[in-house]
Chain A
């Protein structure tokens, strides 16, 4: 079964760092891009950026460039999203999703990781 499995919910304080993960299975991990998508409580989907796991090339939305870092370890079929200093406004559900190189269609999504930032 093709799937993306994300790490569990996190509760952090402002200023703390965090890395969440997304592990792919059932397909060739390096043949698909992995994107990260934010959904703030009660709001819509926002594309944050993506990575090509084959060479770790990244492409960020201007809205998120410099605020987060996307990385991948192809040896363990895992992509990451990390923050160096969280803010309360980072509280959201974060999804990873895969897309083929030839299309922007997100055909497989992770189950989501809820990140709560509160003092």
Chain B
């Protein structure tokens, strides 16, 4: 089955830049999406179609794509950004199955 691979954890100090990667063989052909999930809350979409930002999401959140890897970048990290982040995409076999990455815990030191 198709998998998306994320690092389990990323740590940064406030004001620094956090980069969270997501790797998958189908990413050159399929869009990626990113979600933020804080404890006890439902996920929130923060990036769609690799690099688009929904309304209401701060400009410090950005997304990029290069080959089989997509990256969520949070510039000027704030304490409130501490959360789990999940990438999401689909396989390219024509089945249109949605797949989530395993999630990355962002810790703000």
Are A and B co-members of a single complex? yes
A2 to chain B, nearest CB (A): 12
Query: What does DSSP make chain B's interface, helix, strand, loop or mixed?
Result: strand
CB distance A35 to B42 under 8 Å? Answer: no
Contact with A along B26-41 (1 / 0, CB 8 A): 0000010101010000
Range, interface on chain A: 20 to 34
Stretch binding the partner chain, chosen from A7-15, A73-81, A98-106 = A98-106
Chain A residues, Cβ within 8 Å of B89: 104
CB distance B33 to A46 under 8 Å? Answer: no
With A44-B103, A46-B100 as contacts: A104 and B42 at CB distance below 8 Å: no
Stretch binding the partner chain, chosen from A24-32, A82-90, A107-115 = A107-115
B44 to chain A, nearest CB (A): 7
- Considering the complex, give the chain B residue whose CB is closest to the CB of A60: B97
Complex Cα–Cα for A61 and B100 (A): 12
CB distance B45 to A106 under 8 Å? Answer: yes
Complex Cα–Cα for A105 and B45 (A): 8
CB distance A109 to B86 under 8 Å? Answer: no
Does B48 reach chain A (CB closer than 8 Å)? yes
Chain A residues, Cβ within 8 Å of B7: none
Does B96 reach chain A (CB closer than 8 Å)? yes
Contact with A along B1-28 (1 / 0, CB 8 A): 1000000000000000000000000000
Interface positions of B (Cβ within 8 A of A): 1, 31, 33, 35, 37, 42-45, 48-49, 54, 84, 86, 88-90, 96-103
A-B CB proximity, top 5 nearest = A105-B48, A47-B98, A109-B42, A44-B103, A45-B100
28 inter-chain pairs at a CB distance below 8 angstroms, sorted by A residue, are A44-B100, A44-B102, A45-B35, A45-B103, A47-B88, A47-B98, A47-B99, A47-B100, A62-B97, A95-B43, A97-B43, A103-B31, A103-B48, A103-B49, A104-B33, A104-B88, A104-B89, A104-B98, A105-B33, A105-B45, A105-B48, A106-B35, A106-B43, A106-B45, A107-B45, A107-B48, A107-B54, A110-B42
Interface positions of A (Cβ within 8 A of B): 35, 37, 44-47, 50, 59, 61-63, 95, 97, 103-107, 109-112
